[in-house]
């Protein structure tokens, strides 16, 4: 049985995933693809089979093979998944991390971008999937909130790739509606102000704080994307210029930008690694054929049908980088 899905959906998903791999390479050109990319592809494949099954997802993430760069310490996500691989239950291993505080790093937010690529799905349902997919490794409320907001941002960007003028205020208002925590809501308010001030990458990094946190990375990805939503390579470069601690933000920027711009491609001098190209093609085809995510608890925001479309009648015009 083939899993091809509509061509337009395949192209959009493929663009988002390919640009994410490119952004990962841009941050670590001498390294193998990061475990964050591996998790993004794993969740994309998982969602193609229909919804989130936390037990199965934890097992799939635990068996995902990635090479650890020499001298680099294992992340909290890797430690939790290593415990799951040896037989621990994810619902015991994840909450126990950091003495019971739970993980708040960026890995779960990066992989949650896959939820936003589900074709034709409502933003509320996508946010729920983002939270659930995060919980198998990240139980801190801020990490789950950031995962939901990133998934919703990808979904909104993918909902209509034809708008020329982006209503930034309405986009951020929709995302704020999906946020459940003060930390992520504060980040979204900062993103709005940074966009109005036309902040530089250095200024953006200073204002948003910790790039290794889920909320920091999610906020930075939105800030970079909103600087130049029609030029994803420029947006990725903006996130990359924020510094090495903002690696996750660059991947997340790429996912949002690729979802918005399905015809976007990396520079011609770069190509997908041979080991990853068939995976990207396969998971894009499978996810494109998946049914839309639905939710009885979807909260429609005034002016936005589901899936959401943007209006060019109000809000600031976002110009491209000069």
Q: For 187-243, write each residue's pLDDT tens digit.
A: 999 999 999 999 999 999 999 988 889 999 999 999 999 999 999 999 999 999 999
Q: Are 309 and 160 in contact (CB under 8 A)?
A: yes
Write out pLDDT tens, residues 153-164.
999 998 865 455
Domains (range + CATH), the chain: 7-66+75-288 (1.10.4080.10)
Instruction: Give the separation between CA 217 and CA 147, rounded to whole angstroms.
Output: 10
Instruction: Give the separation between CA 129 and CA 136, rounded to whole angstroms.
Output: 12
In 3D space, the residue among 185, 166, 160, 184 whose CA is nearest the CA of residue 227 turns out to be 166
Instruction: Give the separation between CA 22 and CA 307, rounded to whole angstroms.
Output: 28
Instruction: Give the separation between CA 283 and CA 87, rounded to whole angstroms.
Output: 27
Query: Where residue 165 falls among pLDDT bands split at 50, 70, 90?
Result: low
Residue 293 has pLDDT above 80, yes or no: no
Q: Is 85 helix (H, G, I), strand (E, B) or coil?
A: helix
Instruction: Give the separation between CA 319 and CA 322, rounded to whole angstroms.
Output: 9
Write out pLDDT tens, residues 6-31.
788 999 999 999 999 999 999 887 66
Rg (CA), the chain: 18
What are the tokens at 289?
A: 């054929």
Write out pLDDT tens, residues 121-145.
889 999 999 999 999 999 899 999 9
**Mean pLDDT score of the chain, rounded to an integer?**
84
Phi, psi of 269 (to 5 degrees): -80, -5
Residue 177 has pLDDT above 90, yes or no: yes
Write out pLDDT tens, residues 256-270.
999 999 999 999 899
Which DSSP string corresponds to 258-300? HHH-TT----TT----TTTHHHHHHHHHHHHTSPPP--TT--P
DSSP label of 311: -
Q: Are 254 and 23 in contact (CB under 8 A)?
A: yes
Instruction: Give the separation between CA 64 and CA 137, rounded to whole angstroms.
Output: 14
Query: Where residue 307 falls among pLDDT bands split at 50, 70, 90?
Result: very low
Instruction: Give the separation between CA 200 and CA 55, rounded to whole angstroms.
Output: 42
Q: Which residues pair with 213 in a beta bridge?
A: 105
Query: For the chain, what is the total number of helices (H) and then of strands (E)?
Result: 15, 0
Q: Are 175 and 152 in contact (CB under 8 A)?
A: yes
Query: Where residue 120 falls among pLDDT bands split at 50, 70, 90?
Result: confident
How many CB atoms sit inside 10 A of residue 72's CB? 10
């Amino acid at each position: 049985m083939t899993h091809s899905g509509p061509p337009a959906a395949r192209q959009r998903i493929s663009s988002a995933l390919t640009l994410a791999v490119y952004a990962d390479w841009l941050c670590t050109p001498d390294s193998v693809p990061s475990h964050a990319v591996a998790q993004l592809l794993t969740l994309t494949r998982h969602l193609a089979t229909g919804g989130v099954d936390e037990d199965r997802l934890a097992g799939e993430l635990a068996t995902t093979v990635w090479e650890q760069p020499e001298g680099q310490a294992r992340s909290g996500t890797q430690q939790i998944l290593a415990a799951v691989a040896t037989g621990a239950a994810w619902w015991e291993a994840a909450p126990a991390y950091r003495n019971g505080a739970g993980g708040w790093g960026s890995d779960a937010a990066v992989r949650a971008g896959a939820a936003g690529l589900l074709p034709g799905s409502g933003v509320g349902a996508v946010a729920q999937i983002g939270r659930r997919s995060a919980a198998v490794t990240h139980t801190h409320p801020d990490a789950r909130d950031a995962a939901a907001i990133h998934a919703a941002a990808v979904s909104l960007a993918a909902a209509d790739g034809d708008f020329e003028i982006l209503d930034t205020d309405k986009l951020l208002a929709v995302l704020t509606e999906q946020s459940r925590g003060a930390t992520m809501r504060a980040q979204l308010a900062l993103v709005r102000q940074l966009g109005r001030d036309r902040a530089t990458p250095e200024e953006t990094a200073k204002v948003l704080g910790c790039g290794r946190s889920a909320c920091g990375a999610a906020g930075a990805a939105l800030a970079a994307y909103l600087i130049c939503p029609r030029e994803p390579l420029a947006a990725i470069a903006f996130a990359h210029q924020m510094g090495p601690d903002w690696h996750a933000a660059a991947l997340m920027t790429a996912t949002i930008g690729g979802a918005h711009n399905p015809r976007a491609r990396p520079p011609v001098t770069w190509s997908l690694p041979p080991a990853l190209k068939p995976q990207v093609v396969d998971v894009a085809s499978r996810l494109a054929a998946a049914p839309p995510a639905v939710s009885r608890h979807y909260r429609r925001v005034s002016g936005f049908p589901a899936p959401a479309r943007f209006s060019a009648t109000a809000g600031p015009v976002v110009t491209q980088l000069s």
